A and B are shown apart, each in its own frame.
Chain A
Amino acid sequence: MKNIRYLVPGALFGIVLCKVEAVSWWRMQKMFHFDAWHLYLLFATAIPTGIISLWIIKKFNIKTVNGEVINIPTKKFNWGYVYGGIIFGIGWAFSGACPGPLSALIGMGKTVVIVIFLSALIGTWTYSYLPPKLPH
């Protein structure tokens, strides 16, 4: 029952992804071809919302439901951001979905997307065995 606090924001995120059509393969291709601005506008509204939310969290020192301090670790640059970004970008243009929309698509009843989801899981597992050998 305690885990319901993960369920509610997750469900809301799924609803938003469906409503803004971020789950749509067509929308993704249109975004990459600069034919439609919808998904760019999604970023343009989500980022200021995120900045304001993080500012409020810091300003009022808001804690998690369990009373833990919300701590956003500073990312340190390594070349993995570039290589990983390029690999992710290729997969993103192919499958037309990033991890969030993948789960939302399964919820929409596109059962074949389970295959993409499992492939993505295999990708993350593969990464967890490789990092010492990968350039960072």
Chain B
Amino acid sequence: MPVHPGLYFYHYYFNFLYLLSDSEPQKISTATIQRLEQSHVHFNNGSVPDDVFNRSSLLTIRGFTIMSVGGFLVGFGTRYAGGCTSGDGIMGLSALQWPSLIAVISFFAAGILTSYYLLPIVLNL
């Protein structure tokens, strides 16, 4: 009995849907999580920590700094540096533009220092 050609379509379609589905929970190693738990952020297997990223926390200094100030700095810095992680980081480096490399080094250095030293202070506010 030959297989109906339409079935092939469904086969590929369901494989495609499978690719889009959620994979297993992020296997996030514990060192960072433990450090963040000390700052009252609890790992939830999701994309963002619900402790901070919720509507009521917008009215607290911690939530406001993380979301509103963080967002403002992202937008402002992106324009100032002529690109973001995709514009400078991926496209700029792909086009071998050395100013982009300077920007990438700057934002990685600032990100690492912030995540180590500034973020715990803000999360404990």
Contact = CB atoms under 8 A, between A and B. Distances in A.
Contacts of B20: 15, 19
A112 B51 CA distance: 12
B67 A95 contact: yes
Contacts, number: 272
Contacts of A80: 80-82
Q: Is the interface of B mostly helix, strand, loop or mixed?
A: helix
- Looking at chain B, what size class is its interface with the partner chain? 35 or more
Contacts of B114: 32, 89-90, 92-94
B74 A98 contact: yes
Given A26-B43, A32-B111, A98-B85, A119 B67 contact: yes
- Looking at chain A, what size class is its interface with the partner chain? 35 or more
B80 A83 contact: yes
A9 interface: no
Nearest to A55: B94
A93 B122 CA distance: 11
Contact of A113 (B32, B53, B116): B53
Contacts of B33: 26
Interface of B: 19-20, 23, 26, 28-29, 31-33, 35-36, 43, 47-49, 53-55, 58, 65-82, 84-86, 88-100, 102-116, 118-119, 122
Interface of A: 15, 19, 21, 23-30, 32-33, 35-36, 43, 46-47, 49-51, 53-54, 72, 74-78, 80-100, 102, 105, 108, 110, 112-113, 115-124, 126-128, 134
5 contacts: A33-B35, A85-B103, A87-B81, A94-B73, A98-B84
